[in-house]
């Protein structure tokens, strides 16, 4: 055992909280803009709410496509040069994205902003690799749950603040988000230490650093690849939230930006409570495999219920059910991490982010397109909840590759008994 390993473990106790706060501020900035994107798209394009769904889906696909291309590269760069510089560069680029969108005078500048944001979108993958550096394998499920809770925190306060600011001016949340991202960058520059010591770094190899190379590498490991497929389908289905929640609420329930922000804030609150306060208890009682399985199933049920929610008040009854499914994603991430070598954690998170982004390239287009088809004027069957129903079915299908992954790695995974 070298002297460097205890150093990582020692400073990890403090660095862990630095990353959690960094992710929370990052997602707070991102959550600010969600309630007002439909309003800004409709204003810049002079189009109806129904037709704006296609542009909103395109914005989501643009972000995901750039993240797909650059996610594995930044993950591999973090394995070579460390997590800290990649995190800081990502946050700085994010602030530029918000400024471009805030000053945009055409829809195409919004697309430019989302493209830059997609390039810098390795924040979550690198943060997950950072967490893997500073925690022991048996503690990673709870640690990834806290990362998820930090995301939830951003969606508790971000959309609510964005909704109130959006009632004042549709561009105000973008400038507030840019300011928070800059604050996040300054905070990280001062307090965030490096987590990956030089002994555990490895050379940058382009074959592992492009999205197709990363996927090919992990496809050779069945116990990882099946989990990656399950996570990809899961994230594909969950693009229904960023792609349609805001405009769906406007079309179906006549929600204002303030009401959209409030509903999203409650979704984030539920996720934060479950992932920060309950996931450790659930993992201890059920084990990682059953926790992930039940989490996926609960998510599927909640999405189907959203699809059939004919009134806005019904949505608020479903939100607590969906929150219970928040244990799925961090637990699945923990299972993948537990069967991956330490010096490949960045590559794992990069490949995972790449597959998720690949799914999200088509997810927003399909989800937004489904909403548009079933709500546009002249549609043969009007059903605003069609996108959520589709997402529920896809989430249920993710159980199949997940169980294949469990079977492929049954001797390596911890027992649920």
Question: All domains of the chain, ordered by start, with CATH?
Answer: 4-191+207-408 (1.20.1250.20)
Name the CA radius of gyration of the chain, rounded: 20
CB-based contacts of 41, cutoff 8 Å, min separation 6: 47, 52, 55, 56, 59, 107, 110
Distance of alpha carbon 277 from alpha carbon 299, whole angstroms: 18
Rounded to whole angstroms, how far apart are CA atoms 241 and 365?
Answer: 12
CA dist 158 and 269 (Å) reads 11
Q: How confident is the model at residue 237, as a pLDDT? A: 94
Task: Report helix, strand or coil for 115.
Answer: helix
pLDDT at 412: 64
Residue 260, pLDDT > 80, answer yes
pLDDT at 114 over 70: yes
Query: In a 10 Å sphere around its CB, with 0-12 CB exposed, 13-18 middle and 19+ buried, how is residue 381 labelled?
Result: exposed
Assigned token pair, 378: 């002249």
User: Which is more confidently placed, 74 or 414?
Assistant: 74
Instruction: Report pLDDT digits (tens) over 227-252.
Output: 888 988 998 999 898 889 989 999 99
Span 15-49, pLDDT tens digits: 677 677 777 777 776 777 888 888 889 988 888 88
Mean pLDDT across the chain: 80
pLDDT of res. 200: 59
Q: Return the DSSP state at 414.
A: P
Closest C-alpha among 113, 116, 93, 95 to residue 104: 113
The yes-or-no verdict on residue 199 having pLDDT over 60 is yes
Confidence (pLDDT) at 228: 84
Backbone angles phi, psi at 39, to 5 degrees: -60, -45
Whole-prediction pTM: 0.72
If DSSP states are collapsed to H, E and C, what string results for 267-322? HHHHHHHHHHHHHHHHHHHHCHHHHHHHHHHHHHHHHHHHHCCCCHHHHHHHHHHH
Percent of the chain with pLDDT over 70: 78
- Count the neighbouring beta carbons within 10 Å of the beta carbon of residue 186: 12
Question: Does position 298 have pLDDT exceeding 90, yes or no?
Answer: yes
pLDDT above 60 (res 83) = yes
Q: What is the pLDDT of residues 315-369, one digit of tens each?
A: 999 999 999 998 888 888 888 877 776 666 666 766 676 677 677 788 889 999 9
Identify whether the C-beta of residue 359 lies closer than 8 Å to the C-beta of residue 239.
yes
Q: 284-293, 304-313, 355-364: which range is least confident on average?
A: 355-364
Q: Which residue has the higher pLDDT, 280 or 208?
A: 280
């Amino acid at each position: 055992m070298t002297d460097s390993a205890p150093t990582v473990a020692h400073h990890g106790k403090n660095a862990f909280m630095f990353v959690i706060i960094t992710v929370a501020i990052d997602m707070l900035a991102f959550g600010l803009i969600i309630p007002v994107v439909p309003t800004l798209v409709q204003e810049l394009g002079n189009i109806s709410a129904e037709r704006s769904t296609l542009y909103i889906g395109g914005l989501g696909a643009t972000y995901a496509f750039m993240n797909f291309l650059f996610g594995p590269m930044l993950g591999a760069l973090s394995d070579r040069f460390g997590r800290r510089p990649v995190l800081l560069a990502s946050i700085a680029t994010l602030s530029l994205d918000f400024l471009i969108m805030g000053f945009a005078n055409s829809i195409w500048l919004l697309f430019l902003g989302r493209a830059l944001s997609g390039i810098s979108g390795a924040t979550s993958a690198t943060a997950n690799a950072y967490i893997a550096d500073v925690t022991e394998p048996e503690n990673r499920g709870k640690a990834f749950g806290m990362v998820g809770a930090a995301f939830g925190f951003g969606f508790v306060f971000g959309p609510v603040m964005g909704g109130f600011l959006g009632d004042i001016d549709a561009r105000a949340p973008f400038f507030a988000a840019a300011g928070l991202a800059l604050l996040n960058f300054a905070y990280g520059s001062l307090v965030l230490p490096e987590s990956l010591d030089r002994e555990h770094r490895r050379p940058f190899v382009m074959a592992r650093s492009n999205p197709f190379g990363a996927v090919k590498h992990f496809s050779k490991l069945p116990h990882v690849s099946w989990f990656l497929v399950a996570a990809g389908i899961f994230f594909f289905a969950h693009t229904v939230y960023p792609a349609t929640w805001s405009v769906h609420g406007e079309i179906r329930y006549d929600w204002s930006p303030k009401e959209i922000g409030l509903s999203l804030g409650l979704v984030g609150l539920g996720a934060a409570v479950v992932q920060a306060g309950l996931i450790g208890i659930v993992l201890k009682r059920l084990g990682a495999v059953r926790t992930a399985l039940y989490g996926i199933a609960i998510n599927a049920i909640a999405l189907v219920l959203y699809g059939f929610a004919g009134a806005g008040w019904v949505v608020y009854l479903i939100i607590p059910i969906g929150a219970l499914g928040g244990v799925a994603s961090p637990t699945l991430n923990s299972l993948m991490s537990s069967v991956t070598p330490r010096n490949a954690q960045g590559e794992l998170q990069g490949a995972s982010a790449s597959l998720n982004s690949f799914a999200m390239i088509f997810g927003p287009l399909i989800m937004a397109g489904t909403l548009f088809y079933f709500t546009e004027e002249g549609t043969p069957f009007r059903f605003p909840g069609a996108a959520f129903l589709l997402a529920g079915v896809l989430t249920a299908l993710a159980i199949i590759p997940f169980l294949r992954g469990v079977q492929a790695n049954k001797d390596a995974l911890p027992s649920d008994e």
